[in-house]
Amino acid sequence: MPDNAANTPGEVLALIRDGRARTRSELSRLTGMSRSTITQRIDALLAGNFLYEAGEAPSSGGRPPQTLAFNSDAGVVLVADLDVTHSRFAVADLSGRLLAESAGELDIAEGPERVMGWVLDRFSELLEEVGRQDADVRGIGVGLPGPVEYSAGRAVSPPIMPGWDGVAVPSLLRPTFDVPVLVDNDVNIMALGEYWTRWRDRIDHMLFVKVGTGIGSGIVANGDIYRGQHGAAGDMGHVQVPTATEVVCRCGNRGCLEAIAGGGALAERLRGLGETVVDGRDVAKSALAGDTRAIRMIRSAGRQIGEVLAGVVNLLNPGAIILGGDVALAANELVAGVREVVYERSTVLATHDLTVECSELGDRAGVVGAAVMIIESILLPSAVDAAIRGDAAG
C-alpha cells in the first residue's frame, strides 16, 4: 500500500494543497485508491467549492489530464494581532495571502467588550475594502498580548490586560460571525507566521523571540506551536540573567531578562542619559539613525538576551532563532550581540548549524501567523470532511 493513505475528501485536498498531486492519476498513484473512489472524492470537493479545474496539464500521449487546484478564493479569514495599544488587522484568502491590512490604536485596558467591538469595526472596513460579505468569512484568528488558554480562546491571568482574565474571546465575536475562532498569544502567532513563511520546508524546530517592551518567545516544536501544560510556555522575560543579578524587576525578582534588556528598560536608561525616547521602538530608531549610545545599548541587550538563549539552545536544540519585536528593528546590533554569546556559550552540537536572524516579516509576522493558524485549522481533513457532509445534508 502506498504511504499516503487518503481515504476522505479532506485527505485528498491536503495532498493537492501540499502540491503532492495535481491530477486524478497522480492522486491515484499516490494513494492507491481506485479511479472511481478518487472521482467521488474530487466531485465532493468540487461541489463543496474547495477545488476547481485549473486547465489541462501537458499530455504524455493520449488525452491531456485536467489539473486540479485548491480554490483559495472560496472564502476569506479575518485576523487581528492585538498589542497593548497598537494593533494590526488583515483579511486573507484561504492560501494565507493578505488581501488588505490596517492598523489602529486602542488601549487593551479598555476591556474586552470595547476592544472586540472596535475589532469588529476594523473587520467590517477590511471586508468592504476587498468587496467581500460577512458570509464569505470562514474563520477568525486573534493574537492577544498575554497568556491564552488556546483550546477555549480564553485570556488567562494576563498581567497587562485588566478586565480580560477568564474572558473567552470567541464568545464576543460569534454573535457577528458564526465561524471558527482561534485565539493565541501574540508571540505564538508571530512565531507561526515566521515559521510558515520561511522555515517550514527546512527545519522542524524554531524559536521566535519578541524583544518589545517585554521579552517573550514562541516555540515551534515538531512543526507546531508548543504551548505547555497551561498555555504558559515561552516566557523568557523573567528568566534570570547570569551576569546581572542586581537589577530588580517589576515582578519582584532580581535579574529578570526583561528588566535588563527589554525595550522599556532600554528606553528608561536612555532617558536617564538625557535622550527623549518613549519605548524600545524609539531606542531602535535612534540606533538606526547612528546614535552610538543606543547602538551600544542594543548590542549589550543582545548579549544579555544571548546569555539566556545560550541555555535555551542547549535545552531545545532549535534549527533557527528568529528575533522580532520593536527592538529588533535595529537588527544588526541585536543579532550581533545574541550571536556573540550563543555561539560562544552553547554546546558545539547545538550550534553547529544554528541560524540566528532577525524577522523578515517584521510588524506583519502576527497577522500572517494568525491567518496560518485559522486557515490550517479550518482546512484540516476532518474539518473539510465535516463541511462536505454538512453540505450534502443541507
Chain residues binding a copy of itself by CB under 8 A are 1, 5, 7, 147, 156-157, 203-205, 217, 219, 221-222, 226-236, 238-243, 245, 251, 253, 255, 307-308, 310-312, 314-319, 345-350, 352-354, 385, 389
Task: Work out the burial of residue 312: count CB atoms within 10 Å of its CB; fewer than 13 is exposed, 13-18 middle, 19 or more buried.
Answer: buried
Least distance from a copy of itself to the Cβ atom of residue 360, Å: 20
DSSP helix/strand/coil, 70: strand
What is the distance between the alpha carbons of residues 92 and 378, in angstroms, rounded to a whole number?
14
Which one, 119 or 225, has the nearer CB to a copy of itself?
225
What is the distance between the alpha carbons of residues 394 and 388, in angstroms, rounded to a whole number?
10
Least distance from a copy of itself to the Cβ atom of residue 266, Å: 21
Least distance from a copy of itself to the Cβ atom of residue 138, Å: 21
- Beta-carbon neighbour count of residue 248 at 10 Å? 11
Which one, 64 or 162, has the nearer CB to a copy of itself?
162
Least distance from a copy of itself to the Cβ atom of residue 345, Å: 6
Which one, 20 or 254, has the nearer CB to a copy of itself?
254
- Beta-carbon neighbour count of residue 252 at 10 Å? 8
What is the distance between the alpha carbons of residues 196 and 372, in angstroms, rounded to a whole number?
8
Helix (H) or strand (E) holding 392: helix 381-393
Task: Work out the burial of residue 383: count CB atoms within 10 Å of its CB; fewer than 13 is exposed, 13-18 middle, 19 or more buried.
Answer: middle
Least distance from a copy of itself to the Cβ atom of residue 1, Å: 7
Which one, 67 or 346, has the nearer CB to a copy of itself?
346
Strand partners, 98: 92
Least distance from a copy of itself to the Cβ atom of residue 297, Å: 22
Which one, 222 or 292, has the nearer CB to a copy of itself?
222
